[in-house]
Structure 1
Amino acid sequence: MRLFRRPATDADERGSVSSWLVTSTFVMILGVGIAVDLTGQVHAQQHARDVAAQAARVGGQQLQGGAAIRGEGVRADPVQAVVAARNYLAAAGMSGTVSAPGGEVVLVRTDDIYETKFLSFIGLSNMPVSGEGEARIARAVGGTEQ
């Protein structure tokens, strides 16, 4: 006796497209969410680095004029450099740390949080970002550092 397979009917296939559609839609939304939020984090990271670099530049412009005019060397005023860089950070809405060891360099580190748009649905509501910037005080004559 041979067993024959009965032909598939519409009743046997009922609901299979629905489960496939739900699963594939979820995967696509998750993929788009990852792309959007990781791109947003990269943008926030670049912004944090840019703010740190610009704050260091502003701090590095706070030179001790008297010593430079007398030819004793070029140094930043450490107190004014830190204040100027912190003011820049505050104006940019970013938190961070600033130091000017010895007046020869201004170091800035920024910290921020990127709030996710899509990934909060899976429990990842924010991603930390940070940036670092440095301005070195140098004297150049004829394009050559002295």
Structure 2
Amino acid sequence: MMTTLRQRLADTERGSVSVWLATAAVVMIILVGVVVDLAGQVHAQQHTRNVANQAARAAGQQINAPVAIRGQGVQANAPAAVAAAQTYLNASDVTGTASIVNGNTIRVTTSSTYNTKFLSIIGLGSMRVTGQAEARIARVVGGVSQ
């Protein structure tokens, strides 16, 4: 009597571990996919911000030389600064714009798209990433901005 009860219980539970293991495996694959894609998005975001920083730096080197040489202050050469930033952006793999703010601050905004590797399975094929940077042209004498 005892063996038949044991056999019946064993027969009803057959395969329950397999179902649990298959479900756990699918969940783990999804979690790994989410981690991979979110890490990829963070990397793309950092790259987009870095390109914005470097484009602003390139633009910040374009000053109005005659005014600066005469000691009348430092101003951005607006057309040259925007062109330098746009040239840097065109050479990179991101899109963006550059503009002059208050005569001596260059603002660069960039954007790009990260194409997902795993999340496209659930319909999220791409993620938009953006970056922004500013470079301010300043005259510094003895460590003090003037």
Secondary structure of 2:109's aligned partner: strand
By how many angstroms is 1:33 displaced?
0.7
Secondary structure of 1:109's aligned partner: strand
The residue that corresponds to 2:99 in the other structure is 99
By how many angstroms is 1:97 displaced?
1.4
By how many angstroms is 1:143 displaced?
1.1
Q: Give the Cα–Cα distance (whole angstroms) in 1 for the partners of residues 76 and 44 of structure 2.
A: 29
By how many angstroms is 1:90 displaced?
1.1
By how many angstroms is 1:86 displaced?
0.6
CA deviations on 1:62-120 (whole Å, 9 max, x unpaired) are 11100100111101111111111011011112101110134310000000111111111
4+ aligned runs moved over 3 Å, structure 1: none
Q: Give the Cα–Cα distance (whole angstroms) in 1 for the partners of residues 16 and 90 of structure 2.
A: 56
Task: Tell me whether 1:15 sits opposite 2:19 in the alignment.
Answer: no
TM-score computed with the length of structure 1 as normaliser: 0.91
Whether the 8 Å CA contact 1:45–1:131 is kept in 2: the answer is yes
Seq. identity, %: 54
Whether the 8 Å CA contact 1:78–1:102 is kept in 2: the answer is no
Residues 1-146 of structure 1 mapped to structure 2, 5 A cutoff: 6-7=5-6, 8-146=8-146
What residue ranges of structure 1 are gaps of 5+ in the alignment? none
Whether the 8 Å CA contact 1:86–1:98 is kept in 2: the answer is yes
CA deviations on 1:23-67 (whole Å, 9 max, x unpaired) are 111100011111111111111111111110110110010111001
Q: Which moved more, 1:101-110 or 1:123-132?
A: 101-110
Secondary structure of 1:97's aligned partner: strand
Aligned residue pairs, count: 142
Secondary structure of 2:12's aligned partner: coil
Q: CA RMSD in A?
A: 1.4
What residue ranges of structure 2 are gaps of 5+ in the alignment? none
